[in-house]
Amino acid sequence: MASSSSSTLLLLSPLPLSDLSYKPLRPHYPHFLLPHCHERHRRRRRLLTRAKKGRGGGDSAEPPDRIISAVCYLYPFLDGVHFGRFLLAQFPPIQLIIFPFAPAIRLFSASPLNPFLIFLTLYFAVVRNPSSFSRYVRYNTMQAIVLDVLLIFPDLIERFFAPRDGVGLDIVMSIDSTVFLFLLISMIYGSTTCLLGQVPRLPIVADAADRQVM
């Protein structure tokens, strides 16, 4: 009986602090759920990193970043301003909106290589250069580039069909005028939003730009 009582007292006696080790509780996931949980944590870390870099904040973009991003939206507009020839001929007051950009349009159209050279400069020197430019600048630059790439489709319609009269010409005029108005609205919206320090998201273009910019 003495031995049993002594062993009972030994079990009930408190252990010294040196023998206790604190082990924090960790969530236990089944092995088949581990890849999904890790991916969810990585996605959460990416969202936090983007938030810190000013992707969604209105006041987080510095003034130089806002100006550079706003200027980038001139690129697709200058490359597609020729789509507005029918609309400008029918509604001359719209020329007042285009008049301030006349010097830039003449400079842009001075050489057929200018659009391609500007494309290479914006893509490789800005979008693919995270060490020199913030994600805010690279995202807006990529959005302007994607918008310019989409101009290939109306260009192909004009070159392959090129109707001179009839219903075909009416269709081409409608397409060109729609493209021009979309470029004009995109430039005004994108540049104004960037100058305010916010993030413009153009339809179709925004998701493609997000996938390209890390």
* Residue 181, domain extent: 60-212
Question: Which residue is it, tokens 């010097």?
Answer: 103
**Arithmetic mean of pLDDT, 47-72:** 68
Assess if residue 207 is contained within a domain: yes
**Arithmetic mean of pLDDT, 113-130:** 95
Report how many domains make up the chain. 1
Helix (H) / strand (E) element for 168: namely: helix 166-195
Q: What is the pLDDT of residues 123-132, one digit of tens each?
A: 999 999 999 9
Assess if residue 14 is contained within a domain: no
Alpha-carbon gap, residue 79 to 107, rounded angstroms: 11
Q: Say how far residue 58 (Cα) sits from the centre of its chain.
A: 15
Alpha-carbon gap, residue 175 to 80, rounded angstroms: 12
Q: Is the pLDDT of residue 198 over 70?
A: yes
DSSP 214: -
Alpha-carbon gap, residue 143 to 73, rounded angstroms: 8
Structure tokens at 121: 């400069």
